[in-house]
C-alpha cells in the first residue's frame, strides 16, 4: 500500500481532476490574507506542499498530453489520420500559437508558483518545528528548480520569479539560459546544505516519495551537464553513489518496472502512482495494445529505426544481413516476407506478392523461427522494452489472462482460432511497447496503473557520471567504463572491453556508446528528448533516415519534416509574448 503522504497528495490531485476545477490550477498565488489561513497550521501547510508535488503528475496521468519520448528518436505517434496537435512539431508546421507551447509553459509556472507559496510562507507556520520547516522549504525549492530545469531545457532562457507577484506584475524579461541554470544550482545548494533533508527515505518510510538530498545532487549535476562543467557534475553524481542507492541484485531489467519493485534502491525520485481514477500512470493505455487489460490504445509505437540500433548481446552492432543475407539490398516491400507467419494460405501469399513481397524467400515451415533468431541474439533490454515478432504477451482484455503471440498477417485474437495480438493497426506490423504495459490481469484499468514511474533513477545517474568523466578529456574515457559496465551487467549485455566488439578506443567512441546505452536503458521513461537536445543529436535522430512511423521492414507510413533549426528551442507561447511585451521570441519563430 502507498504511504499516507502519497495518498494525501493524490487525494488532492484527484479531487481537482474529477471535479474539473480549473480554478485551482489557474489560481493566482495566495495573497497575504489567504496565506495566513493556508499556513495557519502544520496540517494545512503540508496540504499546500502536497499540492506542489501534485503538479508533477501531469506528464503521467493524462492520455491527452504529449509523450516526451515521441519527440525523442525512439517513439512514434500512431497517426492514423495524420500528424495533428502537438505532433505538428514533427510535421514542420507548428506555430507559436499552438496550444502545446502554452500548456507546458503554464504547467511549469503553476508548479513554480505553488512551490513559491511554500518557500515564502512556511516559516510562519506556528505549530511546525524548525527542522521540519527547513526540510519542507528544501523540498519546495527542489520542485521549483525542477520546473525551471524543464522550462530551460525547452526554451533556453525564461523569466525567473523567485517569489509570487500580483496578477499584473509578471512582466519580467527572459533571463539568459546560463542564468537560469545558475538559479537551479543556487536552489540546489540550499537544499544540499539543509541538515534536515535526508539523503534517502527507506521503502517503508512514511516520507517515501518526498524529495531527498540525492535527488537534489542529481538535479544540480544535470544543470552542470548543460553548462559543460563536467568535474562539478562528476562530483555531484559521485556523491549520490554513497547514499545507499544501487542497481539491486536479483532484479533484472524486465522486472524493474513493476509494482513489486517500484520502491527498490534504484529509484531516486519517482512519480508516485496511485490506484485511483486519474492518479495512476496511463502508460498501459497509451503504450498498451488491444489485448491489454482495460484495452490499450496503441497511441504510440516504438521507432523501427531505434529498435534496429539495439546491439547483439555480445556487443556486436546489429546487422540484418547477418541473419538474413541480402536483406539490406532488398526493397522494404520485398523484405516483408521475412516477417510473415508459418503456414500462409495461398490467398495470403498472393496478396503479399501483389504488394511487392518477395515470396520466393518464404519458408512455409521455419519462417517464424528464422526471424525470431534475429531478436533472440540481441541485448535483453530489447525484449523487455518491445513486443518483438513471434514473442508472447500475456493479455487480459477478455477478463482472464491469455497468452498471445505477435504474428503477421493478423488473423484472429480468439483463443480457438489463433491468439494473435490485436493492435490498432492490424494491417501493418509495428513495434508495440512492452515496458510499463500491464501483464495479464495485474491491473484491470489502463487509466490508473499504480506502478510508479521513475523520474531519476540510479542507472541514469551512472550513465551521467560516465558521461561527465568522459567529457573531461581524451585520456579520461577508460575511467568511465566501470560505470557503464554496471548498467550493462544488470542488462545482461557483454561488458565494455570484454571482446573486440566492446573494446572502447577513444573519447569519441565512448561518447557514442554512452549515448546509445542511455537510449536503450531509459526508453519510454520520458527523459530522452531533453538529453538529445543537450547532446545536439536530436535533429539527426528524429528526422534522419526517412524518419517517421515505419513498419518493421522499413516501409514508411508517415514521414516527418524538420521545420528548421528554430525547432531546437521551443517557441514562447504567442499569448505570453502578447501579454508581456518584455518577452523576446526565440529566433526563427514568427
CA distance 423 to 405: 12
Phi/psi at 57 (5° precision): -75, -20
The H-or-E segment that residue 456 falls in is strand 453-457
What is the distance between the alpha carbons of residues 97 and 425, in angstroms, rounded to a whole number? 32
Predicted TM-score (pTM) of the model is 0.94
Q: Which residues contact 216 (CB under 8 A, 6 or more apart)?
A: 138, 142, 188, 191, 192, 197
Full 3-state SS string of 22-87: HHHHHCCCCCHHHHHHHCCCHHHHHHHHHHHHHHHHHHHHCCCCCCHHHCCCCEEECCCCCCCHHH
Q: What is the mean pLDDT of residues 428-446?
A: 94
Neighbours of 402 (CB within 10 A): 18
pLDDT value, residue 35? 83
Cell triple for 437: 504495459
Per-residue confidence at 18, pLDDT binned at 50, 70, 90? very low
116-125 confidence digits (pLDDT tens): 999 999 999 9
| Per-residue pLDDT tens over the stretch 484-522 | 999 999 999 999 999 999 999 999 999 999 999 999 999
Model confidence at 1, pLDDT cuts 50, 70, 90, reads very low
**Grid cell digits, residue 319:** 546487422
pLDDT at 446: 85
Cα dihedral across residues 272, 182, 95, 559: positive or negative: negative
pLDDT digits (tens, 9 = 90+) for 366-418: 999 999 999 999 999 999 999 999 999 999 999 999 999 999 999 999 988 88
* Nearest residue to 223 via CA among 153, 154, 320, 303: 153
Give the C-alpha separation, 235 to 192, whole Å: 13
Q: Report the distance separating Cα 479 and Cα 124, nearest Å.
A: 49
Chain length of the chain:
590
The C-alpha cell at 504 is 572502447
Dihedral sign for Cα 17, 23, 25, 29, please.
negative
Q: What's the distance, Cα to Cα, between the start and end of the chain in Å?
A: 50
- pLDDT per residue over 326-362, tens digit each? 999 999 999 999 999 999 999 999 999 999 999 999 9
Residue 13 binned pLDDT confidence (cut-offs 50, 70, 90): very low
Q: List all residues 6 or more positions away from 487 whose beta carbon is below 8 Å from its beta carbon.
A: 247, 459, 462, 463, 517, 521
Q: Within a 10 A sphere around the Cβ of 208, how many other Cβ atoms?
A: 20
Share of the chain above pLDDT 90, in %: 86
At residue 42, the pLDDT reads: 97
Q: pLDDT tens, 172-209? A: 999 999 999 999 999 999 999 999 999 999 999 999 99
How confident is residue 277, by pLDDT bands cut at 50, 70 and 90?
A: confident
Q: How many CB atoms lie within 10 A of CB 98?
A: 18
Tell me which residue of 533, 578, 524, 539 sits closest to 92, measured CA to CA: 539
Quote the DSSP letter at residue 318.
P
Contacts of 311 (CB under 8 A, 6+ apart): 317, 318, 378, 379, 493, 501, 516
- Which pLDDT does position 19 carry in this prediction? 32
Q: Nearest to residue 235, comparing CAs of 469, 63, 392? A: 469
**Whether the Cβ atoms of residue 577 and residue 555 lie closer than 8 Å to each other:** no
pLDDT at 223 over 80: yes
pLDDT, averaged across the chain? 93
Is 359:349 a contact under the CB 8 Å cutoff? yes
Task: Supply 45's cell numbers.
Answer: 501547510
In the predicted structure, residue 31 carries a pLDDT above the cut 90: no
CB contact at 8 A, 493 and 315: yes
CB 221 within 8 A of CB 468: yes
What is the torsion angle, in degrees rounded to the nearest 10, for the CA atoms of residue 342, residue 392, residue 250 and residue 209? 150
Helix axes 477-491, 507-522, angle to 10 degrees: 30
pLDDT given at position 2: 64
Contacts of 31 (CB under 8 A, 6+ apart): none
Residue 392: strand, helix, or coil: strand
pLDDT score recorded for residue 279: 87
Q: Which candidate, 103, 89, 210, 105, places its Cα nearest to that of 148?
A: 105
Point out which residues pair with 403 in neighbouring strands.
Answer: 394
Residue with cell 518493421: 552
Paired residues of 267 in beta bridges? 457
Per the structure block, which three cell numbers stand in for 400? 482472464
**Strand 392-395 vs strand 75-77: parallel, antiparallel, or unpaired?**
unpaired
* Cis amide bond preceding 409, omega within 30: yes
Going by pLDDT thresholds of 50, 70 and 90, the confidence category of residue 33 is low
CA distance 15 to 386: 35
pLDDT of residue 284: 93
Cell numbers representing residue 230 in the block: 563536467
Helix (H) or strand (E) holding 134: helix 130-155
Q: What average pLDDT score do residues 229-253 get?
A: 98
Encode pLDDT of 287-323 as tens digits. Answer: 999 999 999 999 999 999 999 999 999 999 999 999 9
What pLDDT, on a 0 to 100 scale, did the predictor assign at position 79? 80
Separation of alpha carbons 430 and 424, rounded Å:
10
Q: What is the pLDDT of residues 146-162, one digit of tens each?
A: 999 999 999 999 999 99
Amino acid at each position: 500500500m502507498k504511504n499516507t503522504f502519497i495518498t494525501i497528495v493524490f487525494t488532492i490531485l484527484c479531487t481537482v481532476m474529477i471535479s474539473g476545477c480549473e480554478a485551482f490550477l489557474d489560481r493566482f498565488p495566495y495573497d497575504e490574507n489567504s496565506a495566513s489561513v493556508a499556513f495557519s497550521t502544520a496540517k494545512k501547510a503540508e496540504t499546500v506542499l502536497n499540492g506542489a508535488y501534485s503538479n508533477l503528475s501531469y506528464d503521467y496521468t493524462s492520455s491527452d498530453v504529449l509523450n516526451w519520448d515521441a519527440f525523442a528518436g525512439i517513439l512514434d505517434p500512431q497517426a492514423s489520420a495524420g500528424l495533428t496537435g502537438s505532433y505538428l512539431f514533427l510535421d514542420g508546421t507548428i506555430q507559436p500559437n499552438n496550444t502545446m507551447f502554452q500548456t507546458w509553459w503554464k504547467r511549469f509556472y503553476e508548479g513554480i508558483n505553488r512551490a513559491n507559496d511554500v518557500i515564502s510562507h512556511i516559516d510562519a507556520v506556528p505549530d511546525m518545528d524548525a527542522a521540519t520547516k527547513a526540510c519542507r522549504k528544501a523540498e519546495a525549492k527542489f520542485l521549483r528548480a525542477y520546473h525551471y530545469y524543464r522550462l530551460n531545457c525547452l526554451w533556453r532562457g525564461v523569466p525567473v520569479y523567485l517569489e509570487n507577484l500580483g496578477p499584473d506584475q509578471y512582466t519580467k524579461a527572459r533571463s539568459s539560459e546560463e542564468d537560469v541554470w545558475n538559479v537551479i544550482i543556487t536552489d540546489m545548494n540550499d537544499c544540499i546544505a539543509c541538515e534536515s533533508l535526508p539523503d534517502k527515505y527507506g521503502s517503508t518510510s512514511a516520507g517515501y516519495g518526498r524529495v531527498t538530498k540525492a535527488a537534489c545532487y542529481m538535479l544540480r549535476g544535470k544543470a552542470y551537464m548543460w553548462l559543460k562543467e563536467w568535474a562539478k557534475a562528476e562530483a555531484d553524481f559521485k556523491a549520490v553513489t554513497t547514499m545507499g542507492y544501487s542497481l539491486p541484485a536479483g532484479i533484472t531489467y524486465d522486472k524493474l518496472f513493476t509494482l513489486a519493485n517500484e520502491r527498490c534502491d534504484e529509484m531516486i525520485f519517482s512519480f508516485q502512482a496511485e490506484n485511483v481514477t486519474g492518479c495512476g500512470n496511463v502508460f498501459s493505455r497509451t503504450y498498451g495494445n488491444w489485448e491489454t487489460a482495460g484495452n490499450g490504445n496503441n497511441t504510440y509505437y516504438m521507432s523501427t529505426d531505434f529498435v534496429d540500433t539495439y546491439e547483439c548481446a555480445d556487443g556486436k552492432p546489429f546487422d540484418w544481413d547477418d541473419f538474413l543475407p541480402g536483406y539490406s539490398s532488398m526493397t522494404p516491400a520485398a523484405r516483408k516476407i521475412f516477417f510473415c507467419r508459418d503456414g500462409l494460405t495461398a490467398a495470403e501469399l498472393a496478396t503479399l506478392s501483389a504488394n511487392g513481397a518477395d515470396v520466393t524467400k518464404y519458408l512455409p515451415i521455419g519462417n517464424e523461427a528464422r526471424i525470431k533468431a534475429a531478436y533472440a541474439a540481441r541485448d535483453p533490454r530489447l525484449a523487455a522494452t518491445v513486443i518483438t515478432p513471434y514473442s508472447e504477451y500475456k493479455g487480459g482484455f477478455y477478463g482472464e489472462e491469455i497468452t498471445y503471440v505477435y504474428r503477421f498477417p493478423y488473423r484472429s485474437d480468439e483463443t480457438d482460432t489463433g491468439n494473435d495480438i490485436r493492435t490498432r493497426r492490424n494491417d501493418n506490423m509495428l513495434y508495440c511497447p512492452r515496458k510499463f504495459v500491464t501483464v495479464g490481469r495485474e491491473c484491470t484499468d489502463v487509466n490508473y496503473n499504480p506502478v510508479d514511474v521513475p523520474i531519476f533513477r540510479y542507472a541514469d545517474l551512472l550513465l551521467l557520471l560516465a558521461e561527465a568523466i568522459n567529457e573531461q578529456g581524451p585520456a579520461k574515457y577508460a575511467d568511465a567504463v566501470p560505470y557503464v559496465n554496471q548498467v550493462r551487467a544488470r542488462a545482461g549485455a557483454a561488458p565494455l572491453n570484454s571482446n573486440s566488439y566492446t573494446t572502447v578506443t577513444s573519447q569519441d567512441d565512448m561518447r557514442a556508446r554512452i549515448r546509445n546505452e542511455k537510449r536503450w536503458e531509459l526508453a519510454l521513461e520520458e527523459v530522452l528528448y531533453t538529453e538529445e537536445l543537450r547532446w545536439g543529436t536530436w535533429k539527426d535522430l528524429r528526422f534522419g533516415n526517412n524518419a517517421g512511423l515505419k513498419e518493421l521492414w522499413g516501409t514508411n507510413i508517415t514521414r516527418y519534416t524538420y521545420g528548421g533549426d528554430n525547432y531546437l528551442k521551443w517557441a514562447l507561447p504567442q499569448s505570453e509574448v502578447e501579454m508581456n511585451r518584455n518577452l523576446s521570441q526565440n529566433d526563427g519563430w514568427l
